[in-house]
Structure 1
Amino acid sequence: MSLEAEIRRLRELDWRELDIKEAGVWPWSLQLICCLLLFLGIFLGMHWYLVSPAKQELQRMREQEVELVREFRSKSLRAANLDTVRGQMEELEARMEALQEMLPTGAEVPSLIDSISEAAIDNQLSIDFIRLRSPSSQEHFIERPFDLQVRGDYHRLASFVADVASLSRIVTLHDFTLEPGSGGVRDLRLSLLARTYSYRHDGGGT
Structure 2
Amino acid sequence: MNVKDEWRRLRAMDWGELDIKESGGWPFLLQLICCLLVLGLTLAGMYWYLAAPKAEELDQARTEEVRMIRDYQSKAAQAARLDVMREEMAVLEERMGLLKEMLPTGAEVPSLIDNISEAAISNQLSIDFIRLRSPVTQEFYVEQPFDIRVRGGYHRIAEFLATVASLPRIVTQHDLTLEPQEGAGGQQLQLSMLARTYRYRQSDEEEAP
TM over 0.5: yes
Paired position in structure 1 for 2:168 = 168
The 3-state SS of whatever aligns with 2:117 is helix
Number of aligned residues: 203
The answer on 1:159 being equivalent to 2:159 is: yes
Question: Once the 2 structures are TM-superposed, how far is the Cα of residue 150 of structure 1 from its aligned partner?
Answer: 2.1
Q: Which amino acid aligns with 1:199?
A: Y
The 3-state SS of whatever aligns with 1:164 is helix
Separation in 2, partners of 1:8, 1:159 = 118
Compute the RMSD of aligned alpha carbons. Answer: 2.9
Q: Which amino acid aligns with 1:136?
A: V
Show structure 1 runs of 5+ residues with no match. Answer: none
Paired position in structure 2 for 1:64 = 64
Cα pair distance change 1:65/1:132, threshold 3 Å: closer
Separation in 1, partners of 2:46, 2:99 = 74
Once the two structures are overlaid, the 10-residue window that deviates more, 42-51 or 117-126, is 42-51
Paired position in structure 1 for 2:205 = 204
Per-residue CA distance 1:116-165 (angstroms, 9 max, x = gap) = 12212222222232222332333222222222222221111111110111
The 3-state SS of whatever aligns with 2:187 is coil
Question: Once the 2 structures are TM-superposed, how far is the Cα of residue 33 of structure 1 from its aligned partner?
Answer: 5.7
Separation in 2, partners of 1:194, 1:125 = 17
Cα pair distance change 1:112/1:25, threshold 3 Å: closer
CA contact (8 A) 1:130 1:149 kept: yes
Cα pair distance change 1:35/1:82, threshold 3 Å: same
The answer on 1:188 being equivalent to 2:189 is: yes
TM-score when normalising by structure 2 = 0.78
Per-residue CA distance 1:143-201 (angstroms, 9 max, x = gap) = 22222222221111111110111000111122222222344442222222222222212
TM-score when normalising by structure 1 = 0.79
The 3-state SS of whatever aligns with 2:168 is coil
Once the two structures are overlaid, the 10-residue window that deviates more, 6-15 or 175-184, is 6-15
CA contact (8 A) 1:151 1:189 kept: yes
Q: Which amino acid aligns with 1:127?
A: I
Once the two structures are overlaid, the 10-residue window that deviates more, 116-125 or 159-168, is 116-125
CA contact (8 A) 1:140 1:203 kept: no
The 3-state SS of whatever aligns with 2:142 is strand
Q: Which amino acid aligns with 1:178?
A: L
Separation in 1, partners of 2:28, 2:113 = 116
Show structure 2 runs of 5+ residues with no match. Answer: none
